[in-house]
């Protein structure tokens, strides 16, 4: 009964989405306030219906209803309650339903927080989001119904993939989707502006907080995924340039370009058509990413062809959304214009250069991700494009971007005289150079890449400090607290995010430069020295688990004969699927992690002799937590920026700004 209710709610949601996607849009075109006024109630109704469907699916998972195919294939009665709930979005169907729920949630948020927008703009924004929702709900209902029944019901479920039975995996997909789907708001604003033919600084101010929030969520989502890979895949890497990761990284790169481009559009009225294009591209890449990961095309191009309904639907949907919006862009961009004039050396030019670098980097990732798929699809051979390609392309593109990031906030708008930049930044450059030369010797070994990485990181720290100093300088000494307060929250958000990127660069540089990875064979009682640490392998004993059997190892970590930490890496055999999982044990520290994971028994007696010798990975990962710490600081910066008062004021002052559409100025609510 519950699954049928969910199915029914989804069907109703699709009908509401069709109405939401067409009527307010028609109302905005005809200047008909009553049609435009449908936007907000439709958004609310759609959210309730999709949330209802989602709750029904979650209830089926929690209550072990194995008469639902989706539950039977992705859950198991032994699975702990919180993982049964998380299994709701563990499958293709469930994750698409989560996507739809997020979309309905963002639409609801727009309808609540942007109700003071000019009615035609609000109607168009909510309509565009409704149209995207039509695509997703139709895809769910016609090709990937999460409520499909299994007759006869299975006595037991096949279990959730053990890799997903992890707290990180419970929150990673919702965070990532908050980001992906959040870009739909920026997209909808862009399309609405193209349709309305009006795009200016006020528009950018409305669109900006939504984009920044989406970007911040995406940042957290990617960081969580990276952290999850680090501790569950058992081999201590934090980024593999895997297509699944690239799928989330491409929208992030474009989104980063977009939030900077929006800043210029808001402050200077420039980059207008570029901003709109980025908004379209960011959301298009979110769609491509969702489908790359979820359609199975990465597993095998040919699996895509074995289920033609899904494949064709996806391609048609992508063609309509991306092709349609780009066509609209081509048709209207000239009317929108680029806007604003500026000199070769100015804050605008640096932001533009950074934008171009980010987009080129995104394109190189796209090429490396899709090229093997194309070759394979056309039967031209199998190739793989691995980390060496991405490293070779990505670092040279990002180094100048990081350098410009230090100059940009210091440079003036319109025209920044070079001598002034030099005077203001020379000490920052000095600090960076000094740190790059000295720090490697303090930490150990010198290498050009370590120096370059630290140079860029300290350049960002020092120039960020200089930006702040300049803002506070020139005021009487006692007034500096008042001065500190007079700066906007979005300004501090920017500083914090830039600082976070510096922290991230430190982490990446030092991990790449100084990590030590040792795979060793250890008898119980044997010790091995790695770096400054001594690791003693005590042995492996069996242990219990809720839905698995575990083999738990014990490894003591000592430094200078002093016991620092006792680590317990695990090997888990899941009952339902028979799958094995390696759980690493990590001694976390600000200056670096000590990482131990179990391979397999390699002693006499072979693989069944758990009490004998084991293959063990022992890794030292200096400063690795700075990578995720930096990412969280960036996201925090994003949230801080959005808390800025002017976004709230901007909404109230809309009539003062005179932002009324030629057709349909009448307020709808």
Partner 1 sequence: MKPRTRRIGWIVAGLALLGVATALVLNAFRSNLVFFFTPTQVAAHEAPQGRAFRIGGLVEAGSLTREPNSLTVHFRVTDTAQTIAVSYTGLLPDLFKEGKGVVAQGTLAGDGTFHATEVLAKHDENYMPPAAADAVKQAHEAMSTRTLATTRGAHP
Give me the residues that bind partner 1 (CB under 8 A), please.
161, 163, 234-235, 299-303, 341, 343-344, 353, 356-357, 360, 364, 367-368, 371, 381-386, 388-389, 392-393, 396-397, 519-521, 577-582, 599-600, 602, 615, 617
- Distance in Å, CB of 384 to partner 1, minimum: 5
Q: How far is CA 63 from the centre of its chain?
A: 31
- Distance in Å, CB of 270 to partner 1, minimum: 13
Cross-strand bridge partners of residue 519: 617
Interstrand relation of 570-574 and 548-559 (parallel, antiparallel or unpaired)? antiparallel
Please say which residue, 120 or 162, places its beta carbon nearer to partner 1.
Answer: 162
- Distance in Å, CB of 346 to partner 1, minimum: 11
Q: Tokens at residue 607, please? A: 């693989």
Please say which residue, 353 or 443, places its beta carbon nearer to partner 1.
Answer: 353
Burial class (CB in 10 A: 0-12, 13-18, 19+), 250: buried
Please say which residue, 150 or 385, places its beta carbon nearer to partner 1.
Answer: 385
Please say which residue, 235 or 632, places its beta carbon nearer to partner 1.
Answer: 235
**The tokens 């950018």 sit on which residue?**
204
- Distance in Å, CB of 342 to partner 1, minimum: 9
Please say which residue, 208 or 621, places its beta carbon nearer to partner 1.
Answer: 621
Please say which residue, 376 or 661, places its beta carbon nearer to partner 1.
Answer: 376
What gap in Å lies between CA 506 and CA 7, rounded to an integer?
49
- Distance in Å, CB of 138 to partner 1, minimum: 29
Please say which residue, 152 or 381, places its beta carbon nearer to partner 1.
Answer: 381
Please say which residue, 29 or 602, places its beta carbon nearer to partner 1.
Answer: 602
Q: Please list, in sequence order, all residues whose beta carbon lies within 8 angstroms of the beta carbon of residue 292, skipping any fewer than 6 positions away.
A: 243, 244, 247, 298, 369
What gap in Å lies between CA 662 and CA 658, rounded to an integer?
11
Closest CA to 340 of 435, 452, 199: 199
- Distance in Å, CB of 249 to partner 1, minimum: 16
The secondary structure of 636-657 as a DSSP string is HHHHHHHT-HHHHHHHHTTTTT
Please say which residue, 343 or 486, places its beta carbon nearer to partner 1.
Answer: 343
CB 550 within 8 A of CB 542: yes
- Distance in Å, CB of 453 to partner 1, minimum: 18
CB 457 within 8 A of CB 505: yes
- Distance in Å, CB of 101 to partner 1, minimum: 26
Quote the Cα angle for 393-282-327, to 5°. Answer: 110
Please say which residue, 227 or 638, places its beta carbon nearer to partner 1.
Answer: 227
Please say which residue, 271 or 317, places its beta carbon nearer to partner 1.
Answer: 271
What gap in Å lies between CA 144 and CA 142, rounded to an integer?
6
CB 343 within 8 A of CB 352: no
By three-state DSSP, how is residue 574 classified?
strand
**The tokens 């540089």 sit on which residue?**
509
Please say which residue, 413 or 492, places its beta carbon nearer to partner 1.
Answer: 413
What gap in Å lies between CA 52 and CA 402, rounded to an integer?
45
The secondary structure of 250-297 as a DSSP string is HHHHHHHHHHHHHHHHHHHS-SHHHHHHHHHHHHHHHHHHHHHHHSST
Closest CA to 310 of 296, 289, 293: 296
By three-state DSSP, how is residue 222 classified?
helix
Please say which residue, 292 or 357, places its beta carbon nearer to partner 1.
Answer: 357
Please say which residue, 388 or 474, places its beta carbon nearer to partner 1.
Answer: 388
The secondary structure of 141-176 as a DSSP string is HHH--TT-B-SSPPSS-----GGG-SHHHHHHHHHH
- Distance in Å, CB of 351 to partner 1, minimum: 13
Closest CA to 119 of 649, 666, 650: 666
What gap in Å lies between CA 558 and CA 340, rounded to an integer?
62
Secondary structure, 3-state, 107-146? HHHHHHHCCCCCHHHHHHHHHHHHHHHHHHHHHHHHHCCC
- Distance in Å, CB of 153 to partner 1, minimum: 21
CB 196 within 8 A of CB 36: no
Interstrand relation of 614-621 and 516-522 (parallel, antiparallel or unpaired)? antiparallel
| φ, ψ of residue 543 in degrees (nearest 5) | -145, 165
Please say which residue, 365 or 428, places its beta carbon nearer to partner 1.
Answer: 365
Q: Tokens at residue 252, please? A: 């992030």
């Amino acid at each position: 009964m519950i699954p049928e209710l969910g199915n029914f709610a989804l069907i109703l949601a699709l009908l509401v989405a069709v109405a939401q996607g067409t009527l307010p849009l028609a109302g905005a075109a005809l200047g008909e306030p009553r049609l435009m006024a449908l936007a907000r109630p439709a958004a609310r109704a759609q959210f309730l219906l999709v949330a209802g469907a989602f709750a029904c699916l979650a209830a089926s998972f929690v209550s072990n209803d194995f008469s639902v195919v989706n539950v039977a294939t992705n859950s198991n009665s032994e699975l702990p309650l919180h993982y049964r709930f998380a299994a709701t979005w563990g499958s293709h169907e469930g994750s698409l339903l989560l996507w739809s729920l997020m979309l309905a949630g963002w639409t609801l948020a727009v309808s609540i927080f942007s109700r003071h927008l000019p009615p035609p703009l609000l109607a168009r924004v909510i309509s565009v989001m409704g149209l995207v929702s039509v695509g997703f709900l139709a895809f769910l209902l016609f090709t990937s119904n999460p409520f499909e029944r299994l007759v006869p019901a299975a006595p037991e479920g096949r279990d959730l993939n053990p890799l997903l039975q992890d707290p990180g995996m419970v929150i990673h997909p919702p965070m990532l989707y908050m980001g992906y789907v959040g870009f739909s708001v920026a997209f909808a604003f862009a399309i609405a502006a193209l349709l309305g033919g009006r795009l200016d600084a006020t528009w950018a101010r409305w669109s900006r907080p939504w984009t920044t929030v989406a970007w911040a969520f995406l940042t957290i989502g990617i960081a969580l995924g990276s952290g999850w890979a680090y501790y569950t895949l058992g081999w201590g890497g934090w980024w593999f340039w895997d297509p699944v990761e690239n799928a989330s990284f491409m929208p992030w790169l474009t989104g980063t370009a977009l939030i900077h481009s929006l800043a210029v559009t808001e402050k200077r009225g420039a980059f207008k058509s570029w901003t709109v294009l980025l908004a379209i591209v960011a959301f298009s890449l979110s769609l491509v990413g969702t489908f790359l990961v979820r359609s199975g095309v990465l597993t095998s191009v040919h699996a895509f062809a074995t289920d033609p309904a899904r494949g064709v639907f996806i391609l048609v949907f992508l063609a309509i959304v991306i092709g349609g919006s780009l066509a609209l862009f081509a048709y209207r961009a000239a009317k929108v214009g680029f806007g604003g004039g500026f000199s070769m050396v100015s804050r605008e030019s640096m932001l533009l250069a950074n934008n171009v670098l980010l987009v080129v980097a995104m394109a190189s990732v796209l090429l490396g991700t899709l090229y093997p798929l194309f070759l394979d699809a056309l039967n031209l051979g199998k190739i793989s494009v691995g980390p060496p390609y991405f490293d070779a392309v990505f670092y040279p593109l990002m180094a100048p971007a990081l350098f410009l990031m230090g100059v940009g906030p210091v440079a003036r708008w319109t025209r920044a005289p070079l001598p002034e930049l030099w005077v203001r930044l020379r000490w920052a450059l000095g600090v960076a150079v000094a740190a790059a030369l000295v720090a490697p010797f303090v930490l150990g070994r010198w290498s050009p890449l370590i120096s370059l990485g630290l140079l860029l990181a300290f350049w960002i720290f020092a120039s960020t400090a200089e930006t702040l100093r300049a803002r506070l300088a020139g005021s009487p000494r006692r007034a500096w607290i008042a001065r500190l307060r007079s700066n906007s929250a979005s300004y501090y958000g920017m500083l914090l995010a830039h600082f976070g990127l510096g922290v991230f660069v430190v982490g990446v540089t030092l991990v790449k430069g100084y990590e030590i990875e040792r795979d060793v064979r250890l008898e119980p009682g044997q010790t091995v020295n790695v770096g400054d640490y001594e690791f003693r392998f005590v042995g492996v004993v069996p242990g219990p688990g809720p839905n698995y059997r575990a083999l738990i190892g014990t490894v003591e970590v000592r430094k200078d004969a002093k016991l620092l930490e006792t680590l317990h890496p695990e090997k888990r055999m899941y009952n339902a699927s028979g799958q094995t999982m390696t759980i690493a044990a990590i001694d976390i520290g600000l200056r670096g992690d000590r990482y131990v994971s179990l391979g397999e028994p390699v002693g006499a007696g072979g693989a069944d002799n758990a009490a004998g010798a084991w293959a063990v990975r022992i890794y030292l990962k200096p400063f690795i937590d700075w990578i995720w710490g930096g990412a969280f600081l960036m996201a925090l910066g994003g949230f801080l920026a959005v808390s800025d008062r002017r976004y709230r004021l901007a909404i109230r002052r809309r009539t003062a700004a005179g932002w009324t559409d030629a057709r349909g100025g009448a307020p709808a609510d």
